[in-house]
Amino acid sequence: MLKGRNLIDPMDFTLEELEEVFQLADKIIENPAKYSKVCEGKLLATLFYEPSTRTRLSFEAAMLRLGGRVLGFSDANSSSVAKGESLGDTIRTVGCYADIIAIRHPKEGSARVASMYSQIPVINAGDGGHQHPTQTLTDLLTIRNVKGEFSNHVIGLCGDLKFGRTVHSLVKALSRYKNNKFILISPDELKIPDYIKEEILKKNNTEFEEVERLEDVIDQLDILYMTRVQKERFFNEAEYIRLKDSYILDAQKMRMAKEDMIILHPLPRVNEIATEIDSDPRAYYFKQAKFGMYVRMALISKLLGVC
Amino acid sequence: MLKGRNLIDPMDFTLEELEEVFQLADKIIENPAKYSKVCEGKLLATLFYEPSTRTRLSFEAAMLRLGGRVLGFSDANSSSVAKGESLGDTIRTVGCYADIIAIRHPKEGSARVASMYSQIPVINAGDGGHQHPTQTLTDLLTIRNVKGEFSNHVIGLCGDLKFGRTVHSLVKALSRYKNNKFILISPDELKIPDYIKEEILKKNNTEFEEVERLEDVIDQLDILYMTRVQKERFFNEAEYIRLKDSYILDAQKMRMAKEDMIILHPLPRVNEIATEIDSDPRAYYFKQAKFGMYVRMALISKLLGVC
Amino acid sequence: MLKGRNLIDPMDFTLEELEEVFQLADKIIENPAKYSKVCEGKLLATLFYEPSTRTRLSFEAAMLRLGGRVLGFSDANSSSVAKGESLGDTIRTVGCYADIIAIRHPKEGSARVASMYSQIPVINAGDGGHQHPTQTLTDLLTIRNVKGEFSNHVIGLCGDLKFGRTVHSLVKALSRYKNNKFILISPDELKIPDYIKEEILKKNNTEFEEVERLEDVIDQLDILYMTRVQKERFFNEAEYIRLKDSYILDAQKMRMAKEDMIILHPLPRVNEIATEIDSDPRAYYFKQAKFGMYVRMALISKLLGVC
C-alpha cells in the first residue's frame, strides 16, 4: 500500500512497490484520458526553496493532467515562508491547505525532516546533492518501457560519477535487479565513490568495470547514461584537454554503438551530447522528460490513494 | 447581502454579515465536497506586491477548493505591473480578467484605493501595518468553533501589543460582543495604543487590565493570543533580559493554565511558543491555519454571491 | 486551418485566418459560458523570460476561462531553465508537459527559434522590441467590435512612432485593409521609420500624413492610438519642453475630437492620457484589455483546434 506514504529516497520503495508505480504509469500512458480526473479536488503544493523549473513544471503538469490543482512557490527568495520560520512549521501549515507536497530544498536531509512533520505525503523533489528520487523513477520507467526489463543490461555511466546524485541513485536502483553490468566511464578525478562500489555493487554481486574513455567501450553498451563533466572538477588544465572529448557524445562515437543502444540524460545538457545526435532514433533524453511526467502522475496517484 | 462587496477593514462587516460568513464556513467544514464546485468558472487574482506565502497559499487553496481558479503574482519585483503604472490602472486591467481580487500591498490604505477603482470585489490581504482582515476572520472563526461563542471570554493578548495589527483588529472585533474581558500582557514599551483603550475598549464598556508578565495571569485565561516580541523594540538590553522569558510560552507556564484554555497565534512563530507545546491539545495555532482557509472559502463565496 | 500553427509575427496569418479568429472571439464574447470547457484537459505553458504581468495574466485568464490549465514561469531569474540550457532544449522539454506555449523573451527572434524546435503551437508574447502579435490582435478586435470594420478609418498614431513596436504592427495590419488613412503624430526625433513608409504604406497605397502636434489633427480622427513619449528620446531639453504637451491627451483636446472617435492605448500608460479622460465614453483603453483576453481565448482555441 503506497497510500499516505512519502518518497524521500529512491530506495524507500520495495521492488514490488516500484512495480506498482510503473504499472500504473503504463496504464496512464496507454489511456491518459481515463486518468484525467482521478485527482479532481486534490491539491499539490510545490514548495521549491530553490528554483528548478524543469522539475517543478514536470510535477505541476503531472498533477494538472490528473485533474488536480497546484499551488506553491518557485523560489524561497520571493517567499515569506523562508523568513525565520522553521521548516516544520511551514510544512504543518501547508498541510492545512494541500493534500500532497513536493519539496525542493538546497539542504541535504530537509525532505526527510519535512516528512516527519507532515500529515500529508511528501515527495522529495531534490535535497541538495543528496537525493532526487523522481529522477531515478524517470530513468527506470524509461528503461523499462524502451528495453522491456530492468535486468540483463550493460549500462554505461559516463561523465562526472563522483558528484552526480542521479548516477548514484541509478546504480543503487539497478543493482537490485539481476544480471546487469555497469561500465563506469569517467576521468580519474571524477570516479564513482568507493562506498558505491563496496556497499552497493560488490554487495549485490553486480559486475562493473571502470574505464577512462567512452570510445573504448561504447560498442558494448545497451544503455548509455550521459552526465556533464565540468571543467572546474579537473585537477589541471592539461588533464582536462587530454580527456574532454572523451565525454562528448557525437555522431562519430555513435557509429560504434549498438543499433538498439539508448541514450539517456537527466537534462539539462550543455555540450556533452552534440545536437547532431538529437535526431538519432537512439536519443531518448527528450522522451525521458515525458516519461518523467508520467511516472510523477503515477506516483502522485498512488500516494494519494486514488488509483 | 455581501455579494459584490469588498473587505478592506475587519469592521467593514456588521455582526450579522460576519455571522453570515461564519455560518457558511461551518457548512463548508461539515461538507467540503458539497462546495467543491461552487466557484467553477470564477477567477481569483492574487496581487501580492510584497511576498506573503502563507496568506497567498491560504487564498489560493480556498479558491481552488471551491472549484475556482487562480492567477496573479507573488512579488512586485518580478512583476511589470509595479513599473510606473498607477494602482488604479492595474486594478482596472485585472478587473477585465478576474472575478475577485485579493491584494497585498506594503502601503497603508492601498487596498482601499484599489477597491475604489475596482469593478469586482476586493479583499485586503494585508496593507502595511494597517489591516489584515482575513486574519481577524480566521481568529474569530477559530474562537467561534472551539469555544462555541464570541462572548463571556477572558482573552489574554501577549507580546507586542503596540505594533501588532492582528491584535488591534481582534480587540476591535471582540469588543463588539458582550461580557468579554481583555488581559493585555506586554512590556511597558509595547503596550496597546491609547486610542484602542479610549475609543474601543472604554467606549464599548469592555473590561480590560494591563499586566507585564504572562505567568501572573495565565490561570485566568480562556483564550491566549500570542505574538512575537522583537528584541529591537525594547529601550534597553537590561529591560529585555529582565522580561523576555515572560513572553515565551512553555510547558511550565502551561501547567498553570486552564484545562480548556486555547492558544492562538497568527504565525509565523519564531520562539515565543516553545515547540514542546505543539502537542498540547490546547495548542490551536496550526488548526487555526485550517480555519483560515475555510473562512476565506466562505468569504470568497459570499462576495461572489455563489452561496 | 489554424490548428497546430504558430503565431510569431502578426503578419503570419492571412486576412481570412485573422477573420476566423475574430469571428470566434465574437462568439465567445456573446456566450462565454458555451466556451468555458473547450480546453478542458489542455495545458498552456507561459514561459516568460522577462516579466510582463499584464500580458501573462491575459494569457492565463484566457486559458483558464476556456477550462484549460496553466503552468510556467514569470521571470527567468527564478528559473533554472535559463541556466546554460539552450532555448531549443527547454522548448522540447516543455513540449513534453504542455499542449501550447506562450513565450516572452528579451531577445528578438527568439520566439521564431522556439517555434522551430517545438512540437506544439508557439505564441509569441513579445520578443524584445520586435513583435507582440497578440497586442496587434487585441487592437484589431477592439477596432472591429467598436467600429464595425477595418476599412474607411482615419487613424491617428500619436507619440513615439520610432521605437513603438505595437504601432509598427498596427500600421502593417491595417494597411492590408482598404481606404484607411494614417495621421502620424510625433516629434521629429520619433517619426515612424522610413521602411514602414516605403515598404508598407506606399506599397499598399495607404494614404498617410506626418504631423507634429496632436491638437492640429485630432478633429479628423476616427481612431486615436496613443503611446508614451519618453523624455530620454528627445535630442534636447528645449525641444522636449516645446512639444511634450502635444502628446498628452486631456479633456481640452478631447473637446475638439469627433463624438465617435475612440481612444486606444496598449497600456501601461504613464501620463500621456490624463486620468480625467478615463470616464469619457470614447476612452476604450481599459475595454481594450478585455478584448485582449477574448482574442487570446479565440487564438488558443484555434491553434489547439478545439473550436
What's the ipTM?
0.94
Sign of CA dihedral B188, B192, B195, B200: negative
Weakest mean pLDDT among A203-212, A214-223, B160-169, B191-200: B160-169
Q: Is the confidence at residue A80, as pLDDT, over 60? A: no
Distance (Å, rounded) from C-alpha C117 to C-alpha C247? 43
pLDDT, one tens digit per residue, over C53-75 is 999 999 999 999 999 999 999 98
Q: Is the confidence at residue C234, as pLDDT, over 90? A: no
List CB contacts (< 8 A) between B51 and chain A: 78-80
List CB contacts (< 8 A) between A290 and chain C: 96
The pLDDT confidence band at residue C254, using thresholds 50, 70 and 90, is very high
Q: Is the confidence at residue C152, as pLDDT, over 70? A: yes
Weakest mean pLDDT among A197-201, A222-226, B48-52, B119-123: B48-52
pLDDT, one tens digit per residue, over A290-303 is 999 999 999 999 99
- CATH 3.40.50.1370 maps onto chain C at 10-131+289-304, 134-288
Active site residue C176: no
CB contact under 8 A, B89 and C269: yes
Nearest to C54 among B69, B80, B88 (CB): B80
Q: What does the pLDDT average to over C168-182? A: 96
The pLDDT confidence band at residue B82, using thresholds 50, 70 and 90, is low
Q: Is the confidence at residue C82, as pLDDT, over 60? A: no
**B69 bridge partner residues:** B43
Q: Is the confidence at residue A75, as pLDDT, over 70? A: yes
Interface with B, mutate which of A37, A92, A93 (most B CBs under 10 A) = A93
> What string of H, E and C letters represents the secondary structure of chain C?
CCCCCCECCHHHCCHHHHHHHHHHHHHHHHCHHHHCCCCCCCEEEEEECCCCHHHHHHHHHHHHHCCCEEEEECCHHHCHHHCCCCHHHHHHHHHHHCCEEEEEECCCCHHHHHHHHCCCCEEEEEECCCECHHHHHHHHHHHHHHHCCCCCCEEEEECCCCCCHHHHHHHHHHCCCCCCEEEEECCHHHCCCHHHHHHHHHCCCCEEEEECCHHHCHHHCCEEEECCCCHHHCCCHHHHHHHHHHHCECHHHHCCCCCCCEEECCCCCCCCECHHHCCCCCECHHHHHHHHHHHHHHHHHHHHCCC
Q: To 5 degrees, how large is the angle CA C10–CA C266–CA B113? A: 150
Q: What pLDDT does residue A183 have?
A: 98
Weakest mean pLDDT among A11-25, A168-182, A221-235: A221-235
Sign of CA dihedral C75, C79, C82, C85: negative
Residue with the bigger pLDDT between C223 and A131: it is C223
Nearest CA in chain B to A119: B286
B289, B223, A83, A58 alpha-carbon torsion, rounded to 10°: -10
CATH (one of 1.10.10.10, 3.40.50.1370, 3.10.20.30, 3.40.30.160) for B134-288: 3.40.50.1370
List CB contacts (< 8 A) between C72 and chain A: 57
Q: Is the confidence at residue C84, as pLDDT, over 80? A: no
Q: Is the confidence at residue B77, as pLDDT, over 90? A: no
Q: What pLDDT does residue C80 have?
A: 56
A297 C-beta neighbours (distance < 10 Å), count? 30
List CB contacts (< 8 A) between B97 and chain C: 57-58, 60-61, 289, 293
Chain mean pLDDT for chain B: 94
Q: What pLDDT does residue A82 have?
A: 53
CB contact under 8 A, C51 and B92: no
From B213, B78, A227, A96, select the one nearest C75 (Cα to Cα).
B78
Distance (Å, rounded) from C-alpha C170 to C-alpha A215? 56
List CB contacts (< 8 A) between C35 and chain B: none
Nearest to C268 among B43, B85, B97 (CB): B85
According to the annotation, is A165 in a ligand binding site? yes
Q: What pLDDT does residue B202 have?
A: 96
According to the annotation, is B242 in a ligand binding site? no
Q: What pLDDT does residue C79 have?
A: 59
Q: What does the pLDDT average to over C250-268? A: 97
User: What is the edge-to-edge ordering of all strands in the sheet holding A154-158?
Assistant: A207-211, A181-185, A154-158, A223-226, A262-264
Superfamily of domain C10-131+289-304: Aspartate/ornithine carbamoyltransferase (3.40.50.1370)
Distance from CA of A242 to the nearest CA of B (A): 44
CB contact under 8 A, C54 and B81: yes
Which residues have a Cβ under 8 Å from the Cβ of A179 and sit 6 or more positions away?
Answer: A151, A152
Q: What does the pLDDT average to over B89-99? A: 97
pLDDT, one tens digit per residue, over A198-218 is 999 999 999 999 999 999 999
Percent of chain A scoring above 90 in pLDDT: 83
Q: What pLDDT does residue B24 have?
A: 98
User: Which grid cell sits at B307?
Assistant: 452561496
Nearest CA in chain B to A89: B268
Q: Is the confidence at residue B13, as pLDDT, over 70? A: yes
CB contact under 8 A, C78 and A290: no
Instruction: Identify whether the C-beta of residue C260 lies closer than 8 Å to the C-beta of residue C216.
Output: no
Nearest to C97 among A33, A58, A70 (CB): A58
Q: What pLDDT does residue B98 have?
A: 98
Q: What pLDDT does residue B72 have?
A: 95
Q: What pLDDT does residue B80 have?
A: 56
Q: What does the pLDDT average to over A247-270? A: 95
Q: Which residues of A lie closer than 8 Å to C, measured between beta carbons?
A: 33, 36, 51-54, 57-58, 60-61, 64-65, 69-70, 74-75, 77-78, 267-270, 275, 286-287, 289-290, 292-293
Q: To 5 degrees, how large is the angle CA B117–CA B122–CA B128? A: 95
- CATH 3.40.50.1370 maps onto chain A at 10-131+292-304, 134-288
User: Which grid cell sits at B212?
Assistant: 507585564
**B47 bridge partner residues:** B73, B103
Partners for A (CB, 8 Å, 3+ pairs)? Answer: B, C
Q: What does the pLDDT average to over C202-228? A: 96
Which residues have a Cβ under 8 Å from the Cβ of B169 and sit 6 or more positions away?
Answer: B10, B131, B132, B133, B135, B136
| 3-class SS of residue A226 | strand
pLDDT, one tens digit per residue, over C125-148 is 999 877 899 999 999 999 999 999
User: Grid coordinates 478584448 are at which residue?
Assistant: C291
CATH class of A10-131+292-304: alpha beta
Q: What does the pLDDT average to over B66-88? A: 81
CB contact under 8 A, A61 and C79: no
> CA A71 from chain center: how many Å?
23
Q: Is the confidence at residue B78, as pLDDT, over 60? A: no
Q: What does the pLDDT average to over B222-250? A: 84
